[in-house]
Amino acid sequence: MRKQVIAGNWKMNKNHREAEDFIQTAKNEVPSSDQVESVICAPFPFLQKLVEETEGTSLKIGAQNMHFEESGAFTGEVSPVMLKELGVEYVVLGHSERREIFKETDEEVNKKVHAAFNHGLTPIVCVGESLEQREANQTMDHVEAQVKKALEGLTDEQSQQVIIAYEPIWAIGTGRTATSEQANEVCTHIRKVVSDFVSAGVAEAVRIQYGGSVKPANVDELLSQSDIDGALVGGASLEADSFLKLVEAGKHE
Ligand SMILES: O=C[C@H](O)COP(=O)(O)O
């Protein structure tokens, strides 16, 4: 039985007060549970405060990106060492917005995954196809290539700890969710890719999230699918009530 992971990705939203209000409401409501792990991935300026506020609770804090180098002349970047020092535990890597807008490559994502493990951070690695790729029947090949490159050079144990987030780009922030069957079909394929590329044991244990317009109204059906082990949520993670409903759904799977 895999533990569900419900991760909120706030993207570039909220001010300090709003972040604080969210955490005050959510931190004691998030259950300590064997069934579900709860994470909020916040903008860099809020991380220190959020880590402090959630200490001793079951709500964990993640970043939304980082550089793969420990330090150096990389103006505007944040290193894994800095995140670890703050007490951040997770980091979203290779989100489609990073890949599309900031031109991140599969190679960079792989370097970041290695850097995350070198510094004790759990990577949430995003993969997913565009609408054009889906319509051209390239979804499975595209996602397979992204997963293999992300896991390249990892030990089996590290591969098992990676959280893979399948996010079809056409379903992100559009209100257009993949059907639970569409989402599960790709997540099942990802598990097979991990099985062939790493091992059957790792594939059985690795957690695969779905992301793309997940909300309280559709989360139960998505999480009930055989190969979906949680959700990476943008819009519906911005309000504490809504995030808590998603966590509650994860607890019941
Ligand atoms: O990281 C989260 C995803 O990009 C999904 O965003 P969304 O739930 O607003 O569609």
Question: What is the rounded distance in angstroms from the CA atom of residue 101 to the CA atom of residue 18?
Answer: 26
**Domain with 116 in it: what CATH number?**
3.20.20.70
| Residue 252 bears catalytic tag | no
Q: What is the pLDDT of residue 178?
A: 86
pLDDT at 142 (0 to 100): 98
Here the ipTM equals: 0.99
- Using most ligand atoms within 8 A of CB, pick from 163, 170, 172 the residue to mutate for ligand 1: 172
The response to whether residue 123 sits with its C-beta less than 6 Å from ligand 1 reads no
Which of 37, 104, 167, 248 is the catalytic position? Answer: 167
Q: Choose the residue to mutate in 12, 64, 214 for probing ligand 1, maximizing ligand atoms within 8 Å of C-beta.
A: 214
Q: How many domains does the chain have?
A: 1
Distance 110 CA to ligand 1 centre (A): 22
Alpha carbon of 203 to ligand 1 centroid (Å) = 24
CA distance 145 to 188: 15
**Integer angstrom CA distances of residue 133 from 41, 129, 170, 175:** 28, 6, 10, 19
Tell me the whole-structure pTM to 2 decimals.
Answer: 0.97
* Active-site residue identified among 37, 53, 67, 95: 95
Phi, psi of 123 (to 5 degrees): -85, 135
83-105 core/surface letters (b: 16 or more CB in 10 A; e: else): bbebebbbbbbbbbbbbeeeebe
Question: How far is the C-alpha of 192 from the C-alpha of 182, rounded, in Å?
Answer: 16
Name which residue sits closest to atom 6 of ligand 1, judged by CA. Answer: 234
Averages of pLDDT over runs of 10 residues in the chain (253 residues) are 96 98 96 92 98 97 98 98 98 98 98 98 98 96 98 98 97 87 98 98 98 96 97 98 97 79
For the chain, helix, strand, coil in percent to 5 are 50, 15, 35
Distance, in Å, from the CA atom of 126 to the CA atom of 238, rounded to the nearest integer, reads 19
Tell me, what's the pLDDT at 1? 81
In whole angstroms, how large is the CA radius of gyration of the chain? 17
Nearest to 79 by CA among 106, 46, 44: 44
User: Containing domain of residue 213, as a range?
Assistant: 5-250
Answer left, alpha or beta for residue 240, where phi above 0 means left and psi between -120 and 50 means alpha. alpha
- 135 belongs to the catalytic site: no
Residue ranges of the binding site for substrate:
9-11, 173, 213, 234-235
